[in-house]
Amino acid sequence: MIATILLLAYLLGSIPTSVWLGKALKGTDLRKHGSGNAGTTNAFRVLGKPIGIVVLIADMGKGLLAVSLSHLQIEITTGTESLMILRIGLGLLAVIGHIFPVFAGFKGGKGVATMAGVGLALHPLVALAAIGVYLLIFLFTRVSALGSLSAVISYPGWMIFVFQTDYWSLQIFSIFVPILVIITHRSNISRLLKGNENRILKKKEMS
């Protein structure tokens, strides 16, 4: 059963929400427009706000549901470190599925929305605090990548020092999250350093 739910977590993460919705509703492959990424941010830019919201909810939902698959197994006792490790593993497989989706030629998004869903399932208060950081930075800058990077960099601090989880696996996970997001956002970081990272809304649209 554990092997089965691990596979299901990856397949769940591999559901390319933005790609399928873009083709079904707009007749376009999202990966051929905008940043070329199949994630939530590019969905907002290319497909519009209504579809972008659906993509955001669906991608976060993939992370939440993947972690929840742990309830299908009975081998590991509830509340143990072992179960938390399994839940983290399920969440990470969903994120990997989102980044490398088997249903979309292994070309997906950057995994931030799905990772947010995983975080909500693992420790809701820590995830909400990090999401709050994202919203604060994004509202001031309108640069989604900057908000995402700020949120994940703050994530270990919330997990280890503010909410002080007793699970060592969660502490390690919280340190791993920024590393993964920084790796997947290398191009965004390069554009941020050059001052030409794309905004969700242009200045003339904000006035």
Taking the C-alpha atoms of residue 142 and residue 197, their distance in angstroms, rounded to an integer, is 10
- Name the pTM for this structure: 0.90
Q: Which tens digit of pLDDT belongs to each residue from 13-27?
A: 999 999 999 999 999
pLDDT band (50, 70, 90) for residue 125: very high
Number of Cβ within 10 Å of residue 7's Cβ equals 12
Tokens linked to 163: 């909410």
Tokens linked to 124: 């809701």
pLDDT of residue 130: 96
- pLDDT value at 202 more than 50: no
Mean pLDDT of 179-195: 85
Taking the C-alpha atoms of residue 45 and residue 105, their distance in angstroms, rounded to an integer, is 22
DSSP code per residue over 101-160: -GGGTT----SHHHHHHHHHHH-HHHHHHHHHHHHHHHHHH--HHHHHHHHHHHHHIIII
| Alpha-carbon dihedral sign for residues 192, 113, 152, 142 | positive
Taking the C-alpha atoms of residue 68 and residue 180, their distance in angstroms, rounded to an integer, is 22
